[in-house]
Amino acid sequence: MNLRRIAAIVLRQYYLMRTSPTRLVPLFAWAAIDIVLWGFIARYLNGVTEGGPNFTFTLLGAVLLWDFFTRVMHGITTAFLEDVWSRNLLNVFATPLRVSEYVTGLVVTSIATSMIGLAVMLALATGVFGLSFFAYGAAAVPFVLVLFLFGIALGIFASALVLRLGPASEWLVWPIPALLSPFAAVFYPVAVLPAWMQWFAHLLPPSYVFEGMRAIVAGQAFSWSSLAWGFGLAIVQIAVAQYVFVRVFRATVKSGLLARYSAESVA
């Protein structure tokens, strides 16, 4: 794997953002709106249920973590779609660039953009609503890492979906986090879900993250082996997503679809 080629993909995204500041706004704008909205909801619930659970962490903390996962996923897909929108995919792969190097460049770009969004969310949640993850120290790091890895897996898979179905299928990408959120048990325990939804939830790494965070906040015992299971699932899903992307890419090259890429969807 050539680090210079990976750096070239990252540099292209940097130049895009530097020359168009409007591309920076989505990195934090929607997340900031969510933090403000849910922050005031949590503050209201804390006021009407004095002596009850701390909604600032249970609600606002869950929103912050889920938005972070969404930023990671969208960071990869948006970087990929930039090449789709500009009809640049054929130019990119006319070079000696490998598929693995291209995907790695997208992941590195997502790391940078998601960190910007996370910094803004933490600043708002801490400064305005008093939410502090720093109180949990290093214990919070594994939870954030699992969400980050799952976001990478989903971002790569969503990019493969667009590559196979065509640019018009990008509308399938944006609602994926919202469609998964009921199964991920972001705001409630997995136990409240029907049996078939619980089965699906156990395949999603975020369900282990939010179950664990709620247990820690409530001062209850939490099985770190469960989080390790979620971590393992995320790693496996990254490998599967990478495999799917490579297979889809090779199929588009053999069929000539990559050369014919247009603004219309392709069956």
Residue 230 to residue 146: CA distance in whole angstroms: 7
Q: What is the mean pLDDT of residues 55-84?
A: 85
Does the pLDDT at position 256 exceed 60? yes
Report the 3 state secondary structure along 112-134.
HHHHHHHHHHHHHHHHHHCCCHH
pLDDT tens across 193-203, in order?
998 899 999 99
Res 157: pLDDT: 93
Most confident listed range (17-26, 128-137, 236-245): 236-245
pTM: 0.86
Q: How confident is the model at residue 263 (pLDDT cuts 50, 70, 90)?
A: very low
pLDDT of residue 264: 47
Q: What's residue 94's pLDDT?
A: 79
Of 44-53, 86-95, 147-156, 245-254, least confident by mean pLDDT is 44-53
